[in-house]
Amino acid sequence: MMAVSPLEQADCPAVWCVIKPVFRSGEAYVYPRDISESEAYSAWVDVATATYVAKNGEMVLGMYYLKPNQPAQGSHVCNCGYIVGANVRGKGVASLMCAHSQQEALRLGFSAMPFNLVVSTNESAIRLWQKNGFEIVGRLPGAFHHPVAGFVDAFVMLKKLL
């Protein structure tokens, strides 16, 4: 049975196995394709308010972080980033993490959740976020340099939590 729980140190090697191929592909995230494990943890774990893993038993299926989208006057709005292992995509892992992140965001006092840069070619993610109540509230023309498609648009997506 799938469950979401806080990231523990023992999860880190399995998490790297999940996130490394996603970063290496260069198709969904702005991080360098040759990002090191320590740089990835700095970007995804160290700056987050909280980091969670989705597991089936002890098997890590995906992870997400939750953090304020901006400091000070923008800190009531949170941001999340999600990664699901390629072998379990389409099996409800991202939906589970999305629902969990919204509950956690509310528990932590956040009032809204924007996704700042959803790559327009990531159609499955866009459909999933829309299914979970997120709206496209902005378009950033040519904001993402896709390794195959070249410069493509990115969307800002938002869900009000309160």
Q: Are 114 and 128 in contact (CB under 8 A)?
A: no
Domain ranges of the chain: 2-113
> Can you count the helices (H) and strands (E) in the chain?
4, 7
pLDDT over 90 for what percent of the chain? Answer: 95
Listing DSSP states for 102-154 in one string gives HHHHHHTT--EEEEEEEETT-HHHHHHHHHTT-EEEEEEEEEEEETTTEEEEE
Task: Convert the pLDDT of each residue in 105-129 to its tens digit.
Answer: 999 999 999 999 999 999 999 999 9
Task: Convert the pLDDT of each residue in 51-110 to its tens digit.
Answer: 999 999 999 999 999 999 999 999 999 999 999 999 999 999 999 999 999 999 999 999
Specify the DSSP element, H or E, that contains 55. Answer: strand 50-56
Residue-level pLDDT at 44 = 87
Task: Convert the pLDDT of each residue in 12-51 to its tens digit.
Answer: 999 999 999 999 999 999 999 999 999 999 988 888 999 9
CATH node for 2-113: 3.40.630.30
Residue-level pLDDT at 47 = 85
d(CA 97, CA 135): 18
Residue-level pLDDT at 114 = 98
